[in-house]
Copies of this chain bind each other. A is one copy, B any other.
């Protein structure tokens, strides 16, 4: 994945910290602020939590990344992809992407409401096979 291009396309300057954040996010798939901070400190030992938050917020504003808010657990961040659903194990905490047509479901839901749809969040929580 070309992180430099991703940043450029979103009018964000390329910095080593940002590249590191995107790389870790991509590897993890879904990652929380704490996990990200702990991991990135291995590369940039003096990185500050303020910088991490500023960058996360900048990337959220341009929709380069997306915040996934599941019930009961802390938010995770992922690089934006085509709309999909999530499956979360509340025992081990694993997040899994599910390729499912959420846009179609959203339209069914908003059908008679007159709403203009922007975003759909579909998260199923449960226990994964390993944790049962």
Q: Does A121 contact B (CB under 8 A)?
A: yes
Residues in B whose Cβ lies below 8 Å from that of A128 = 113-115
**Complex contacts, A129 vs chain B, CB 8 Å:** 113-115
Interface flags for A28-72 (1: CB within 8 Å of B; 0: not) read 000000000000000000000000000000000000001101111
* Contact present for B121 and A117 (CB under 8 Å): no
A105 CB contact (under 8 Å) in B69, B105, B119? B105
- Residues of chain A touching chain B, judged by Cβ–Cβ distance below 8 Å, are 66-67, 69-72, 85, 87, 89-90, 96, 98, 100, 105-106, 108-110, 113-129, 132
Least distance between A123 CB and chain B CB atoms (Å): 5
